[in-house]
A = this chain, B = another copy of it.
Amino acid sequence: MSRTSPQPGGPTRQRLIDVAIELFQRHSVAGTSLQMISDELGLTKSAIYHHFRTRDELLSAVMEPLIAEVEALVEAAESRRGARARADHLLVGYATLAASHREVVALLTGDPGVVALLRTRQEWADIVARQLRLFADVEPGLGGQVKAAVVMSGIASAAGVDYKGDYNDDGNSDGGGDFDEAALRDELIAAGRRTLGLRAPHGGG
């Protein structure tokens, strides 16, 4: 176990981000210190400071790529015609994102530290509000807003669950508790469509 300063081949920014995601999930954002992250990697705190000055800077780096993907999705969805087509476009993209970034997405809706950070980053809060509105616009009033909240949080949480049983469609019996990302994505989309009252498009609408 060596305690080293930053050096070529040393700790990359990405390794710090990966360990941060793991510890944020296990201890929540507020329960994770930069010290804990450096301990986990066997580094000094100054090796982290080279990349991130504060925990919120590190959290921002975790969230940034995800928020950028959501923004692109929201913009593509908003360009569609009709509330149902817009909601469905966003749902398919969001479920795909959730299935392929299970840990980060689960963090995004559940952790008060993330909620607090969103409050300080107006442009991020705006993206989340636009996403919620696209889902809520399918149905007027409180019913639409409640279903939008169920879909947003429910999909994020459900993506992070460790499902038991062999749900892999590939026919290989490669030892239970297994399912592929595509199967999870499809089930998240099916659940979201049910909740919002959307039908699966026929052909490729």
**What residues make up the interface of A, taking CB atoms closer than 8 Å to B?**
25-32, 109-113, 116, 141-143, 145-147, 149-158, 161, 163-165, 167, 179, 183-184, 187-188, 190-192, 194-197
Contact = CB atoms under 8 A, between A and B. Distances in A.
Nearest to A107: B112
A196 B147 CA distance: 13
Contacts of A150: 150-151, 154-155, 157-158, 188, 191-192, 195
Nearest to A145: B163
B157 A112 contact: no
Most buried by B among A28, A146, A152: A146
A91 B29 CA distance: 31
A142 B179 contact: yes
12 contacts: A26-B112, A26-B116, A31-B112, A109-B110, A141-B167, A142-B187, A146-B163, A153-B154, A153-B157, A154-B157, A194-B195, A194-B197
A161 B132 CA distance: 12
A30 to B, nearest CB: 2
B111 A147 contact: no
B113 A142 contact: no
Nearest to A167: B142
B191 A195 contact: yes
A191 B146 contact: yes
Contact of A31 (B30, B155, B156): B30
